[in-house]
A and B are shown apart, each in its own frame.
Chain A
């Protein structure tokens, strides 16, 4: 049977939405900070929790979070997953560790990736530090932080991480 005579069994039904995404005030502040090699969070005036990246408001207290806090680029892994499935927008070689890093001074972990560490050594409580792009490549994008790598500091005990996991 030629292609012409075979019955149609599927159709293309693509969906495409073109947005112009606005980062908003809090995220823009955060990204401008990243462009200067700084990691900025915001502290809630009521519960004092520090959120990074900042959202502009506290989800627990429902108030604006205006106080800016500069955080260290060192932190602790609170949880992680080993990724083995490829995806279009991942440019890190597989398999890699996708991690939640609780930066020193923050109350909310942020997503990143760990490199320069054998996968079997990755663990909750592991101390890590950000590896940035060279200074002249810094820009208002999270890609300015290439990944986190392990540092030589004692692990943080699990019970200290309980609230954040």
Chain B
């Protein structure tokens, strides 16, 4: 019996990994968002009505109209609008110790962005708390260029 297959009372089990190493193309709107992340900035886009969506979207989710070409720098800090604690992080999640998934409304934005908050302990999480991004030293143009958010001191 190989070490990957096990036999428990006659029932055979084996590890099975389903993996899709996708690489997806991004257009002018998301492309700009990621390009700015690489430069250490977070941008949103203005809708026709002047609302700032961060992260930017091609279409205004409220009206369906195309957003403008007007990109606006937002943050870097912002406010947690909702959060959920992760007690046992999985291997591919942003942090290896317990953290919060949170929606963060960055300063200047009218929508919130999903990311991880490294609060250290669940008791430090508060809806309404201010957080700021922890940037990676080496950035490539990906949401993980922000390692996570952390409470503002």
Complex Cα distance, B127 from A127, in Å, reads 71
CB distance B23 to A11 under 8 Å? yes
- A8 B141 Cβ-Cβ under 8 A: yes
Given A8-B31, A10-B25; A20-B14 close (CB under 8 Å): yes
Residues of B within 8 A of A4 (CB): 38
Q: Are A140 and B31 in contact (CB under 8 A)?
A: no
Residue-wise, chain A 9-29 has the 8 Å CB interface mask toward B (1 for contact) of 111111111111111110111
- The answer to whether B12 touches A23, judged by C-beta atoms less than 8 angstroms apart, is yes
Verify A16–B92 contact, CB threshold 8 A. Answer: yes
Interface size class of A (residues with CB under 8 A): 20 to 34
Number of residues of chain B lying within 8 A (CB) of chain A: 30
Min C-beta distance of A163 to chain B, whole Å: 32
Other-chain residue from B5, B23, B32 in contact with A140 (beta carbon distance below 8 A): B5
Query: Taking A23-B11, A140-B5 as contacts, is the C-beta distance between A8 and B38 under 8 angstroms?
Result: yes
Q: Are B1 and A140 in contact (CB under 8 A)?
A: yes
> A149 on the interface (CB 8 Å rule)?
no
> Are A11 and B11 interface neighbours, CB within 8 A?
no
B-side contacts of A8, CB under 8 Å:
26, 31, 34-35, 38, 141
B residues less than 8 Å from A24 (CB atoms): 11
Question: Complex Cα distance A4/B38, Å?
Answer: 8
Residue of A nearest to B27 (CB): A9
The answer to whether the Cβ of B142 comes within 8 Å of any Cβ in the partner chain is: yes
B-chain residues with CB within 8 Å of residue A14 when the two chains form the complex: 19-22
A13 to B84, CA, bound (A): 23
B88 within 8 A of A: no
Question: Contact: A32 with B10, CB < 8 Å?
Answer: yes
Q: How far is the CB of B117 from chain A (nearest CB, A)?
A: 22
The answer to whether A11 touches B26, judged by C-beta atoms less than 8 angstroms apart, is: yes
Please, how many angstroms separate the alpha-carbon atoms of A140 and B1 in the complex? 8
Contact (Cβ within 8 A) B34 A11: yes
B26 touches A10 (CB 8 A): yes
Smallest CB separation, B42 vs chain A (Å): 14
A-B contact pairs, 27 of them (CB 8 A): A7-B32, A8-B26, A8-B35, A8-B38, A9-B26, A10-B24, A10-B25, A10-B26, A11-B24, A11-B141, A13-B23, A14-B19, A15-B18, A15-B22, A16-B17, A16-B92, A17-B19, A19-B15, A21-B15, A22-B12, A23-B13, A25-B11, A28-B12, A31-B12, A32-B10, A140-B5, A140-B12
Interface residues of A (CB under 8 A from B): 4, 7-25, 27-29, 31-32, 139-141
